[in-house]
A and B are shown apart, each in its own frame.
Chain A
Amino acid sequence: MGDNNGSDTRGWQVVRFTIDDLSMGIDILGVREVTVIARITPVQQAPSFVRGLINLRGQTVTVVDLGVKLGRPGRTVGEQAHVIVLKQAHVGILIDTIGEIVPVAGGIEPVPSTMGFVENDAIEGVVNLEHDPVLIVSPEGFLDSMVTNSRGEKA
């Protein structure tokens, strides 16, 4: 567990991770586990952000490349690719590096336009952690964005 300053009023924690140059975080209560995957099965004809399916102890988990959703080029699944598996559904987010779990003080701000960033259901907003803006991913928003995107209704 990360450092607990003991001074936050909101009392929630995020696990930090990076996708490309983006510093991101997600509420740990929405995370089932973070796993390393060895092999991924691609699904033909799936939307570009779906990298494929993995076998997680007998459960099929759909792995999504959040970077693609955020307009970045797709990442390759290397030897030690990390996936954050959500609690809510059998879905996992493919990430570059995994960081620490840190407590959050203060609320979620809307994403400032200076970040040069396309609005996305998956991103709830920004929090300031150790003076850096960190994009917060919302699990519900993420799942919503998977569904609407594959119907082609939203960008």
Chain B
Amino acid sequence: MGNSQNLTPGFAREFIADIRDDLEVLEPDLLAMEALGSNVGCDLVNNAFRAVHSIKGGAGFAGLTHLGDLANSMENVLTALREKKLSLVFPVPDVLLAGLDRMKTLVAALDSDTQPSHEREKLALEALISSPDGTVYHGRCGPFLADRLGRMLDPGVLKKAVSQGKLIYAVEFDPQQDFLEKNRRVRELLTDIESIGELVFADFDPTLAPGTLGPGQGPLTAVVATILDPDFLAQVLEVESSRIIPLDPDAMEFPEPSPQVPPGSEHPEASGAGMAMSPLPNGLPQEVPATTIRVNVELISRLMNLAGELVLTRNQFRSLVERIAVQDAGVNQVMQSLNTVTSLIQEDIMRLRMQPFGNLVSRFRRIVRDLSNSLGKRVDLLVEGGEVELDKRVLEGLANPFTHLVRNFVDHGIETPDSRKRAGKPTNGTILIRVGQQGGQVHISIQDDGRGIDPDTIGAVAVDKGLVTRESVFSMTDKEKINLVFKPGVSTAETITDLSGRGVGMDVVKTNIENLKGRIEIESTPGRGTRVQITIPLTLAIVSALIVGTGGLRFAIPHMQMQEVFHLKPGELQTCVERVGGFDVLGFRGGLLPVVRLRTLLGIETLFFDSITREERRERRFSISGPRRGQDRRKQAGGGIFVIVLKQGINRFGLLVEEMFDTEEIVVTPLGPGLSTCVCFSGSTFNGDSGVIMILDAPGMADQARLGFGAVAREEKRRRGGKLGEEKQGLCPVNLMLFSFAPDDYFVVPLASLARLDVIRPTDIHTVGQQRFMDHKGTTTTLFFLDEIIPVAPCEPSGGPVGVIFPRGLGVSAGIVVGMVMDTVAFCESMNTDPVSPDGIRGTAFIGNRRVRFLDMEHISKRMETLVETAGSMIGEEE
């Protein structure tokens, strides 16, 4: 019973799929209704009604009588709620939810032979509305009618009528009964209506002759505004009172005023073109979906692959176009369009498979509600960022671990209301779920304001269960002890409930998260609360990546794993790198950065050209730092090396590569079977002409290289503590002025070498011919921009104030525009000098978190004097 017998299976499946969708929509609505109680707005109840009505219809078509029966009872209750004949206090929401659950089990049992009974839920629903004093409201067509009419009525007219003290009714006439048989003209009806009120609307032409209303014509609807009550109105209009349906204009939805939709035309789709958004009292907007379409997941996968291929082809085409260096502006324009369209297609297709995290949340709300009720606790569930989208598969993978976490929080985290009151906390516990996206990662945190986790208790339990030794626990930080809960078998529940106390949970949660290539961590403060942090990479992203090269091969590094990149000139590498505790490290930002060569890491053999023996030889030197300090015999084309600063959690390390190419948007293909030993890679992608290239994984590489961040950190500490032991010169602090000429290009000048520093507005700078001047404090002074004096990148005018420095002892009256003045710093370290550096730069250092270059003021002053003389002589010639 319950299986479709009248329809072909395919047809029935469609309806059943629709029913499942409706059931999904229904649960969050019912929960929201319960939360709002008597404050609930009609929109929410309408939504729920629509869903149940749709289920009833679908069940009818598919021959599912039990389901249809139950849906009918629920419909009646929802109608009563709508009519305010019933209010949302206990036990109404519970009965509704029980009805929902029963509908779910009925649907789930469709394939089996036995259908569970729905009598209990049905009787409960009916009991709600058949009360001794009220009448059972049939609600045949009332709410539906109101919805339909809402699209066609003018709210202004209705409001005016209401303000005149009139009531609004919809009256349904049966052409056969009310007109033909009574030989009554429609026009007479109009007169009747006008005598007692106002005809707001009619969906038939009032001037029609009765003969034109043939049998089989559907009911005619008129909307009337009158001061009469329904019974009196029925008398006057000579219709049965059940045909008089009161309407509440406040509860009706009116479409946006749109000139394209002619009044009175029935186009439900057209008026639904906009999303009707009405905020609920607690600020949650409820959307009325316009249209959706069900799509086969296979088709979406294929579309995604094709989008990937399109990106690839577009890239290949783009490099061809660039190579041909076509002058034709038309080609470039078309290329632009192609770029834009391809990117948009790509984005939209990616979005097809993405679903908002909020879809999972409704599931949690139900669990929180049921569990907290059964445990006698009160818990509020708050969600931020439910709109962040994840790939459907990732969402599915998160469902189980999250369910478990939420259960844990309610079960073990939140205390009973009594305990909370005694602890001075509000009786309602709060669980906050936050979802955010950054780069290619999704960050999700769940936290509560409950009893927290005691690190020592966990530590003791872990030792008891033999999972760790007492000694290792002794040296652990609190955070490390708390994270022991992820070890299998750890549980501190006083009573083992059948839900989550058995202690098998958290390790499974961790495994699940790691299967999605994510990470999970716990923090907690006993007595205050606990927070679980989860990070999941967007595996199916099209990510932004930097293409680098070594040994003739290319690799991609996802931007989100990179912190920054800088370049070391040939020879700089040897001088700047030291060996600390068995690792090569580079001085960086006042600290030490472990570095590793990409080609060493991957075991790529490279050949180098020996300029002395003039032959290609195999690279055999793998250490970076070394005793050789002179010129490197092995000249590599272009020279220098790039240091890519990568992240592994909070650690940083530098990856050395010989070549750096563009940033590209790449489509990530995860590694296939058999490649799990490749810890340095997170996937592969296609890259223009190069075919397949591997995508590097920073944490994996750090593991592979066995980088000892702890040892490096200890050495850093040691150095910071014992500066005096170093054999560096110039320990007296020197006061430097720090400025930024071009973005991310920082310079310092000893304040002692300046005669003057001014800060002027760009409008103060005037240009005459080739020369710039500034008017300041009544005098005109020649100005040079820094890049006019020494070879540095030009500045980009930002419109903000700029600094002008005047070197001490300068023979001419001129100043240097140095861009944005940042700060003055007291510098105690020594500068790194460079055998090969541009004129005007004495050396480099790291200050704060920036790499800065020291200006050579002697050289700059000389240059300025020369420039001024030259300019002066030129002007002299012109005159």
Q: Report A's interface with B, CB cutoff 8 A.
A: 39, 41, 43-47, 49-50, 52-55, 57-62, 64, 89-91, 143, 146-147, 149-151
Contacts and interface: CB of A to CB of B under 8 A. Distances in A.
Given A43-B694, A45-B677, A60-B684, 5 more contacts: A41-B691, A45-B680, A53-B684, A55-B686, A58-B308
Interface in B216-248: none
B312 A44 contact: no
B678 A45 contact: yes
Contacts of A43: 675, 678, 681, 684, 694
Contacts of A59: 305
A53 B679 CA distance: 16
B604 A146 contact: no
Contacts of B691: 39, 41, 54-55
Contacts of B309: 57-58
Contacts, number: 81
B692 A46 contact: no
B367 to A, nearest CB: 35
Given A58-B312, A59-B305, A64 B677 contact: no
Contact of A44 (B306, B604, B669, B673): B604
B602 A46 contact: no
A29 to B, nearest CB: 20
Contacts of B312: 58
Contacts of B669: 60
B677 A47 contact: yes
Interface of B: 305-306, 308-309, 312, 602-604, 669, 672-681, 684, 686, 691-694, 704
A90 B675 contact: no
A70 to B, nearest CB: 15
A94 to B, nearest CB: 13
Given A39-B691, A44-B604, A53-B692, A58 B305 contact: yes
A123 to B, nearest CB: 17
Given A39-B691, A45-B603, A50 B674 contact: yes
B373 to A, nearest CB: 46
17 contacts: A41-B691, A43-B675, A43-B684, A44-B602, A45-B603, A45-B678, A45-B680, A45-B704, A49-B674, A50-B675, A52-B692, A55-B692, A58-B312, A89-B672, A91-B674, A147-B676, A150-B675
Contacts of B673: 62, 89, 91, 143, 146-147
Nearest to B683: A60
A52 B691 CA distance: 12
The 9 closest A-B pairs by CB, nearest first: A58-B309, A146-B674, A44-B602, A41-B692, A62-B672, A53-B692, A60-B669, A45-B678, A146-B673
A55 B684 CA distance: 10
Nearest to A53: B692
Contacts of B603: 44-45
A120 to B, nearest CB: 14
B675 A62 contact: yes
Contacts of A47: 674, 677
Contacts of A147: 673-674, 676
B584 to A, nearest CB: 20
Nearest to B681: A43
Nearest to A37: B691
Counting chain A CB atoms within 10 Å of each CB, the highest count among B309, B602, B673, B691 belongs to B673
A143 to B, nearest CB: 6
A46 B684 CA distance: 13
A57 B677 CA distance: 26
Contacts of A55: 686, 691-692
Contacts of A45: 602-603, 677-681, 704
Nearest to B679: A45
Contacts of B306: 58
A62 B674 contact: yes
A147 B309 CA distance: 28
A45 B676 CA distance: 10
Contact of A64 (B305, B674, B686): B674
Nearest to A52: B692
A20 B675 CA distance: 25
A32 to B, nearest CB: 14
B345 to A, nearest CB: 15
A9 B308 CA distance: 44
B24 to A, nearest CB: 33
B675 A46 contact: yes
Given A45-B678, A47-B677, A90 B672 contact: yes
Nearest to A45: B678
Nearest to B676: A150
A60 B673 CA distance: 12
Nearest to B689: A39
A83 B504 CA distance: 46
A111 to B, nearest CB: 23
Nearest to A57: B309
Given A44-B680, A45-B677, A60 B693 contact: no
Contacts of A46: 674-675, 677-678
B696 to A, nearest CB: 10
A110 to B, nearest CB: 26
Contacts of B704: 45
Contacts of B693: 41
Contact of B692 (A54, A143, A149): A54
A143 B728 CA distance: 60
Nearest to A62: B672
A60 B692 contact: yes
Contacts of B676: 147, 150-151
Contacts of A151: 676
Nearest to B306: A58
A61 B675 CA distance: 12
